[in-house]
Amino acid sequence: MNNLIHARTCVYNVGYHIVFTVKYRQKVLTGKVATRLKEVLHQVAQDKEFIIETMELMPDHVHIFVSTKPTVAPTDIVRTIKSISAIKLFDKHPKLKKFYARCGSLWSKGYFIDTVGNANIETIKEYIVNQDFQ
């Protein structure tokens, strides 16, 4: 119960495990692209007032554990993260933009999302951290 957040009108603990993939599962999330993506995701989280509890980038997909206010829809989190990160990565990495110009987007349309409760937060964090097989 130590993860509870006390707001003016409610007490909450809302967390999501989100996974989304690069279009065509290309292994582009490495090196400077991966470093920039992490920076962008942390900046988006700060700007939109949600908390990235844990994040791990694989070459072709992203695992992220996000906590947020109960008024924020999970689809809004995913849409915001994917759209802003694609724009920022394309600005910083023109080769990436050139490759994905023919399909129009960096990220695949779909995503996985799971709610995370108190009982399994540490399990989810450990799972995400252990995704780095490189």
Which CATH code fits 5-128? 3.30.70.1290
Evaluated on CA atoms 52, 17, 38, 44, the torsion sign reads negative
Task: Tell me the pLDDT of the chain averaged across its residues.
Answer: 91
> Phi, psi (5° rounding) for residue 29?
-90, 65
Using the predicted structure, report yes or no on whether residue 129 has a pLDDT greater than 90.
Answer: no
Beta strand 14-21 pairing with 51-58: unpaired
Reduced to 3 states, what is the DSSP secondary structure of residue 49?
coil
Q: Per mean pLDDT, which range of 14-18, 38-42, 54-58, 100-104 is the poorest?
A: 100-104
- 53, 125 Cβ separation under 8 angstroms: yes
- What's the CA gap between 42 and 35, in Å, rounded? 11
Residues acting as catalytic residues = 127
Average pLDDT over residues 31-38: 97
- Write down the pLDDT at residue 132: 67
pTM of the full structure = 0.85
Residue written as token pair 């399909």: 103
Report the share of the chain in percent with pLDDT over 90.
72
Domain map (residue ranges) of the chain: 5-128
- Please say if the pLDDT value at position 16 is more than 80: yes
Alpha helices in the chain (DSSP H): 31-48, 74-92, 94-100, 121-129
